[in-house]
Amino acid sequence: MNDQNAYIYEEIRRLQKSKRVYQIMVGVGFVGFFIGIISTMIPLCLLCFPLIMIASFLLTGIQRKMKANFGASLVRNALSKVFDRVEYLPFHRLPDHVMELSEMKLPFDVDRIEGSDYTRAVYHGLELEFSDVKLIDRRSNGKHTSNVTVFEGLWLVCDFRKPISSGILLRERNGGSIRFFEKLGHGGNVIETENVEFNKKFLIVSEDQHDAFYVLTPHMMEYINRMDEWGMGVSYMRFTRSGKVHIAIHSGLDFFELDSKTDPAMLTEKFLDEVGYITGLIDTLHLSDLQNNS
């Protein structure tokens, strides 16, 4: 362990301690506030409310500081071990023009997009961009409005060197949905391949049947199936005319975060595992083989 790492680990440990203290303060504040409400002790409420606010503010600040000052450098190191030409922005997400959300035809409404850990890099000659993404739908029942997270996980955009004339959408079928209704609102035709099991598992939409069969070779269908298992979530995919594949996995996973429990010396390992999850998606799809053949 070199001096630089030792310093980083020491600083992270110090910040983790502070973070734990602020978390306890928030917890105590909430408990006190509720006790104050139940027992109608207004002074206790008045005391606890500012405590919650100040501790939350400090907690947010320390999380940001941990990530910006130390986490980012560890993440960059982990990314650089696997990828080439790494560009990492901890507080940014995939830009809207890259995500092309409207083209993904997700089966839910999205009012707000949040995200972090934007990364742009090259992996085995493939250009890729990814970030954590959270899609939020604001729902109202007339009286109350609530924000519902409809998607949370990784959004990866990667080179896919098979020229096609129309986009192809793939998404895991909703167990309870009726196939007739699935055919509506996709702006394309529902494609049925010769693989009955694959058709059962994934809804495929494309304007061009030939393009869909050209991309979804028997091997590619098997790779997608494996990738879906690897992803541990609900998979959404889009193959674009511009030679990219979008892979969005609603897994609830949040990458490259510094929690207050993990030993700082183990953080690099943790981040490398998370990078391994991303490269696993690309490897199971054999995208770099495709690149070499094209």
Q: Please report, as ranges, the residues that interact with other proteins according to CB under 8 A.
A: 162, 192-195, 197-198, 201, 209-210, 213-214, 217-219, 221-222, 225-226, 293-294
Q: Which is nearer to other proteins, 182 or 208 (CB)?
A: 208
- Minimum distance, C-beta of residue 197 to other proteins, in the bound complex (Å): 5
Is the Cβ of residue 228 or residue 257 nearer to other proteins in the bound state?
Answer: 228
* Residue 49 or 214 with smaller CB distance to other proteins: 214
Encoding tokens for residue 139?
């729902």
- Single out the residue of 263, 268, 5, 247 nearest to residue 126, CA to CA: 247
Is the Cβ–Cβ distance between 108 and 89 less than 8 Å?
Answer: no
30 vs 213, which CB is nearer to other proteins?
213
Q: Are 135 and 149 in contact (CB under 8 A)?
A: yes
Cβ at position 288, least distance to other proteins in Å: 16
Residue 242 CB, nearest distance to other proteins (Å)?
18
* Distance set, CA 244 to CA 36, 172, 215, 283 (Å): 56, 20, 12, 16
Would you say 193 or 251 has its CB closer to other proteins? 193
Q: In terms of Cα–Cα distance, which of 150, 148, 117, 115 is closest to 133? A: 115
- Nearest-approach distance from CB 213 to other proteins, in angstroms: 4
Burial 36-54 (b: 16+ CB within 10 A, else e): beeeeeeebbeebeebbee
- What is the smallest separation between the CB atom of 293 and other proteins, expressed in angstroms? 6
What number of residues does the chain have?
294
